[in-house]
Amino acid sequence: MKVTFYGTRGSCPTPGKSTLKYGGNTACVLVESEDGRKLILDAGTGIRVLGDEMVKNHDDIYLLLSHNHHDHIQGFPFFKPLYQAGRNIYIYPAKTNPNQPRAAIEQMNGSYFPLEEHELKANFEFKDTSWEQQPVTINGFRVHRREINHPNGGAAYIVEHGSKRVAYVTDNELNPPNKMATSAYEWKEFLLGVDLVIHDGQYIEKDMPLKHGWGHSLISEVVDLAKCANIKMLAFYSHDPDRTDDEIDQWQQKIDNMKLDNDIFFAKEGQCIEL
């Protein structure tokens, strides 16, 4: 299984000199199986570059969304396969409150984006969001889901193929001040033994208490989760728009100094992990 990061930034794209190393595009990850099947996670601005690659063939496209906040769907209108005649695109939205399963395409309404849905050439199918915790099969991958602790809800995924599993848990607050959708114990159970866990680590202690309840985790909380869930490989994701490359490097150094058994790193745009 191969995992490629096309966008790693949370909340807002951050082009500029101080974010070159870890990237400025928002959420998008591609998972590929050994037999060449693909699954896209989220449609932040990173999906634009992925679209430039995918437009070269006509394979069916499968896109899973964590939720509809702008940084997770903003790149969708710039995904070139949308404009390919006869291209089949299957979109799996997460259940949110309010539930707007077609939000990715509804943003293309002439007001936020000049083209409208009827002008797109691809064939779209928005899949049912009612599947709760039952695993489903999507393009040959087994997909498990849990609800994230995030304002207005959304989904985290484990994508499984053969003996390999990758978890995508972005925009998740491990210790929210309000009601938890999924508890720390449930996350530990869900993520146990997963080969690569991609987890939100947007905040640091000095962001608190202002951002407590905004739906993202402290880096330190996620390190604790990695230790207690015995996570082999953890990729921090959804980097704060204000976090510079130098600051992220300093956090990497702090974590390396802990000399943990877990392989913990901050995901970089363009990085590819072979599992």
User: Which residues of this protein are in contact with Zn ion, per CB under 5 A?
Assistant: 69, 171
CB of 68 to Zn ion, least distance (A): 8
- Least Cβ distance, residue 261 to Zn ion (angstroms): 31
How big is the CA angle at 28 (ends 238 and 232), to the nearest 5 degrees? 65
Q: Which is nearer to Zn ion, 171 or 240 (CB)?
A: 171
Q: Which is nearer to Zn ion, 42 or 160 (CB)?
A: 42
Residues in contact with 184: Cβ distance below 8 Å, sequence separation at least 6, in sequence order: 174, 175, 225
Nearer to Zn ion, 42 or 171 (CB): 171
Q: Which residues contact 28 (CB under 8 A, 6 or more apart)?
A: 5, 6, 7, 40, 41, 42, 43, 44, 45, 46, 47, 50, 75
Q: Minimum distance from CB of 271 to Zn ion (Å)?
A: 22
How long a stretch of residues is the chain? 275
Complex with Zn ion: residue 69 or 199, whichever CB lies closer: 69
Q: Which is nearer to Zn ion, 77 or 215 (CB)?
A: 215
Least distance CB 10 / Zn ion (angstroms) = 8
Q: How far is the CB of 243 from Zn ion (least distance, A)?
A: 16
